[in-house]
Amino acid sequence: MPLQNDDPPAPVPPVTPMLEICVDCQASVEACQEAGIPRIELCAGLVEGGTTPSWGFLRRARATYDGRIMMMIRPRAGDFVVTASELQIMIDDIQAARDHGADGVVFGCLRPDGTVDAAAVERLLRAAGPMDVTFHRAFDVSLDVSASLESLMALGVRRVLTSGGQASVDRGFASILALQQQAAGRISLLAGGGLRPDHLPRLQAHGLHEFHLSARTSRPSPMVFRRPDVPMSAAEVPGDEIRREADPVLLRTLMGLLRPGSSSRSA
């Protein structure tokens, strides 16, 4: 006869909400430290969706920020199909992230058909070892977010950043809830992409507890002398379907112009 246990079941401890702020400058790191933000995603170039930051930035952030640092591993802007050379860059950057104090890394790779590049992700996971890992919003532009979620869970990815496969959390809210139900605790969903403060209690009510946003505001530059007629940034950011790369034909033409005897030297 089984022993009777009249003690009430132990209460399930509440899940602690996690707020992650993506930052691409030291001022933002210091603001997060002052506010007590528990986790940051360290990036360069948020205007391009975030790329790998410098090691110097990581080292300075680690020296001034007490929370957890996730480092973006993305060698360029644009699409998420990586070449063999780019994959090796990502592996080397993961090692540098570990060496310079990051707690985790953030990456994402897709195949040209829009499915998760499992082979590339496996190599990156091996490089990361015990580090924390997030698969970023490459997930949201994959062919089928439900199938992609299954792929990531099979690979053992711990977390995926998502707006539900839509342009923003607002538009993808129902999809996020469906993905949360599909995940069933096997992977954590980090809700982000146009996230606003009013989204947090609504998402928490449906069992989500990790939230990602930049929380940025615009401030004027301290420069007094200005040259608005000489811009240093591009007039517009190319879409994700465009790659900006050096043109081999133009490079050869330029080198030809600089060789001895070329017309550029006959003045």
Helices (H), 115-194: 118-128, 145-155, 169-183
Summarize the confidence of residues 221-237 as an average pLDDT.
79
On whether the CB atoms of residues 18 and 39 are closer than 8 A, the answer is: yes
pLDDT exceeding 90 applies to what percent of the chain?
Answer: 73
On whether the CB atoms of residues 212 and 20 are closer than 8 A, the answer is: yes
Between residues 120 and 260, which one has the greater pLDDT? 120
Between residues 262 and 58, which one has the greater pLDDT? 58
Considering the domain boundaries, does residue 39 fall inside one? yes
CATH number of the domain enclosing 83: 3.20.20.380
Cα–Cα distance, 99 to 111 (Å, whole number) = 29
Domain that holds residue 110: 18-213
Considering the domain boundaries, does residue 257 fall inside one? no
Dihedral angle of Cα 225, 226, 227, 232, to the nearest 10 degrees: 120
Sorting pLDDT into bands at 50, 70 and 90, what band is 235?
low
For residue 12, what pLDDT is reported? 44
Summarize the confidence of residues 198-207 as an average pLDDT.
93
Which element (helix H / strand E) includes 33? Answer: helix 26-35
Work out whether strand 132-135 and strand 159-162 pair parallel, antiparallel, or are unpaired.
Answer: parallel
Q: Is the pLDDT of residue 9 over 90?
A: no
CA nearest neighbour of 157 among 200, 104, 204, 113: 104
Considering the domain boundaries, does residue 231 fall inside one? no
Q: Is the pLDDT of residue 227 over 50?
A: yes
pLDDT, tens digit (0-9, with 9 covering 90-100), for 247-256: 888 888 888 8
Rounded (5°) CA angle 91-92-95:
90
pLDDT, tens digit (0-9, with 9 covering 90-100), for 137-154: 999 999 999 999 999 999
Considering the domain boundaries, does residue 122 fall inside one? yes
Cα–Cα distance, 119 to 140 (Å, whole number) = 19
CA nearest neighbour of 166 among 155, 153, 157, 179: 179
Distances 139 to 1, 171, 219 between C-alpha atoms, Å: 52, 16, 32
Span of 30-39, 70-79, 177-186, 258-267 with lowest mean pLDDT: 258-267
Tokens of 113: 């058909």
Considering the domain boundaries, does residue 193 fall inside one? yes
Cα–Cα distance, 248 to 252 (Å, whole number) = 6
Considering the domain boundaries, does residue 160 fall inside one? yes
Q: How many domains does the chain have?
A: 1
pLDDT, tens digit (0-9, with 9 covering 90-100), for 26-46: 999 999 999 999 999 999 999
pLDDT exceeding 70 applies to what percent of the chain?
Answer: 92
Tokens of 157: 């990815």
Cα–Cα distance, 142 to 110 (Å, whole number) = 7
Sorting pLDDT into bands at 50, 70 and 90, what band is 266?
very low
Between residues 8 and 137, which one has the greater pLDDT? 137
Q: What's 265's DSSP letter?
A: G
pLDDT, tens digit (0-9, with 9 covering 90-100), for 103-141: 999 999 999 999 999 999 999 999 999 999 999 999 999
Tokens of 199: 């989204």
Considering the domain boundaries, does residue 35 fall inside one? yes
Summarize the confidence of residues 158-177 as an average pLDDT.
96
Considering the domain boundaries, does residue 234 fall inside one? no
Q: Is the pLDDT of residue 257 over 90?
A: no
